[in-house]
Amino acid sequence: MYKKLIENPTVHCVSEPQLNLFSYTEENNLKEDFKIISNTNNVEFESLGKSTLIGNGNCVDYLKFIEANSIDLILTDPPYNLGVFMHKRNTNLVKMRKNQFAYAGWDNLSQEDWEKEMDVFFKESSRVLKKKGTLLLFMSLIKIETIIKMASKYRFYYKTTGIWHKTNPMPRNMNIHFVNSTEAWVYFVYNNTSGTFNNAGKMEHDFIETSLTSSKEKKFGKHPTQKPIKIISHFIKLLSNKNDVVLDPFMGSGTTGVCARKMSRKFIGIDLDKKYYELSKLEC
């Protein structure tokens, strides 16, 4: 957690249409408690220390403000957009999921609108990533093929689909079907066939196993799809180096930021929802 929350930040208004955020902070010797506000876009980044910048809004607007070729790793967990699909299903699951992602509000676009948003996300991600930069995103298994097709349009080289297995899933309807205990992640490298992969000569399997996010990791508040620190740290370690810039455009409670800070990476995080944005300030 970044303990000192911003009270009177120094405000930097910039008129450049795009900015290399950390070059700007270094050139202007910004250390902590500052905001970078764009005069041309509807974008406002707040600092949590000198190496973490977060913004509250639609990531598409924020991504457009980030300079091309300035990010090393995008590690993110976008909406799977299963809300409409879940609502239509006439099962007990619908009732049981009332407090789950399907009712979270950001997960129920039409398939067409979701694909349009994800298309802009991939387009902008390909612009901001450095050549050989990495994109790893979590996704529902039933959407993987769609995601790979979309990403390949923007020169993302598909590497791996892997599995997160939850060792203690909710035993929903365990006597009538298989209990849902997995989510997928998809790994791409931009404009090259391989990128940073710090395996230190060790074989890395394409699945990771952890328990559900512990209540200790949720002590500042709840996010319905908060990822465990163990998984996010695993990917940051493997797919980036110290001082690299890690971006999470759908940061939720800020798990990627928490891990990036601990592992000495710079971090840029964005979330649309004010409530989760405020939570990420406590977490990061």
Ligand X SMILES: C[S@@+](CC[C@H](N)C(=O)[O-])C[C@H]1O[C@@H](n2cnc3c(N)ncnc32)[C@H](O)[C@@H]1O
Bridge partners of residue 268, in order along the sequence: 53, 247
Q: In terms of C-beta density within 10 A (0-12 exposed, 13-18 middle, 19 or more buried), how is residue 31 classed?
A: exposed
Total residues interacting with ligand X, rule: CB under 6 A: 19
Beta carbons of 244 and 198 less than 8 angstroms apart: no
**What would the x/- binding string for ligand X be over residues 80 to 119, using CB under 6 A?**
--------------------------x-------------
In the complex, what is the shortest distance from the CB of residue 28 to ligand X, in angstroms, rounded to a whole number? 27
Half-sphere CA count of 23, side-chain side, radius 13 A: 9
- Beta carbon nearer to ligand X, 21 or 272: 272
71 is a site residue for ligand X (CB under 6 A) = no
The structure tokens listed for 61 are 């607007």
**Interaction with ligand X in 158-197: which residues (CB under 6 A)?**
none
Residues 207-246 binding ligand X (CB under 6 A) are 223, 225-227
Q: Is 271 in the site for ligand X (CB under 6 A)?
A: yes
Q: Under 8 Å CB-to-CB from 252, ≥6 apart: which residues? A: 77, 223, 225, 226, 227, 271, 276, 280
| Interface residue with ligand X, options 83, 133, 162, 252 (CB under 6 A) | 252
In the complex with ligand X, which residue's Cβ is closer, 30 or 246? 246
> Which is closer to ligand X, CB of 136 or CB of 238?
136
Number of C-alpha atoms within 13 angstroms, CB side, residue 169? 14
Q: Does 124 bind ligand X (CB under 6 A)?
A: no
Asked if 34 is part of the footprint of ligand X (rule: CB under 6 A), the reply reads no
Extended strands (E) in the chain:
10-14, 34-38, 44-47, 52-56, 71-76, 129-139, 156-166, 182-190, 207-210, 245-248, 266-271
* Nearest CB to ligand X, comparing residues 23 and 99: 99
Least separation in angstroms between residue 251's CB and ligand X is 6
The pair phi, psi for residue 21, each rounded to 5°, is -60, -45
Which residues are at the interface with ligand X (CB under 6 A)? 58-59, 77, 79, 106, 223, 225-227, 249-250, 252-253, 255, 270-273, 276
